[in-house]
């Protein structure tokens, strides 16, 4: 009795399952948002429930213990936050905090961190109202 057809079917079935898993993984990656559309929003404008946390930028994992991205100006640091948020599909950054290098080092650098969030319809409305006032 030849086992080749059964073996071929099993290998083909495993291949189909693996391709399906790869396709599902690709389908669940976050959508990149244009950096220009990512806003920096004051925490006071967004009450709980008006956003969904996507990622805590530069403070969520162990890499911060090894590397902190320092920038020459606060504007550069906030722009980098917006880029990180956009790459994760967030449309706003909130809870932004910037920490300067101690003055005694004589190196004018700044580190900023914040929360990348996806705004709900209520959050979008609140941000629009805050921008209009």
Residue 80: CATH number of its domain? 3.30.1660
Residue with tokens 């920038």: 71
Q: What is the distance between the alpha carbons of residues 105 and 10, in angstroms, rounded to a whole number?
A: 64
Token reading at 40: 């920096």
Q: 15 with 48, same domain?
A: no
Q: What is the distance between the alpha carbons of residues 64 and 131, in angstroms, rounded to a whole number?
A: 33
The whole-model pTM stands at 0.70
Q: What pLDDT shows up at residue 122? A: 92
Q: 19 with 66, same domain?
A: no
* C-alpha distance from residue 44 to each of 29, 92, 119, 126 (Å): 30, 14, 14, 10
In the chain, beta strands by DSSP E: 39-40, 51-57, 92-100, 110-119
The whole-number average pLDDT for the span 94-99 is 93
Q: 26 with 44, same domain?
A: no
Tell me the pLDDT tens digit for each residue of 4-19.
666 667 756 676 666 6
């Amino acid at each position: 009795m030849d086992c080749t057809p059964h073996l071929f079917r099993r290998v083909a079935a495993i291949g189909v399952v693996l391709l399906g898993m790869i396709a599902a993984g690709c389908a669940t990656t976050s959508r990149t948002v244009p950096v220009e559309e990512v806003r920096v929003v004051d925490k006071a404008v967004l009450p709980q429930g008006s956003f969904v946390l996507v990622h805590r930028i530069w403070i969520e994992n162990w890499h911060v213990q090894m590397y902190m991205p320092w920038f020459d100006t606060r504007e550069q640091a906030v722009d980098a936050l917006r880029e990180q948020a956009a790459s994760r599909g967030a449309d706003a950054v909130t809870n932004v905090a910037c920490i300067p290098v101690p003055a005694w080092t004589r190196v004018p650098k700044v580190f900023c961190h914040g929360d990348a969030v996806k705004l709900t319809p209520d959050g979008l409305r609140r941000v629009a109202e805050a921008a209009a006032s």
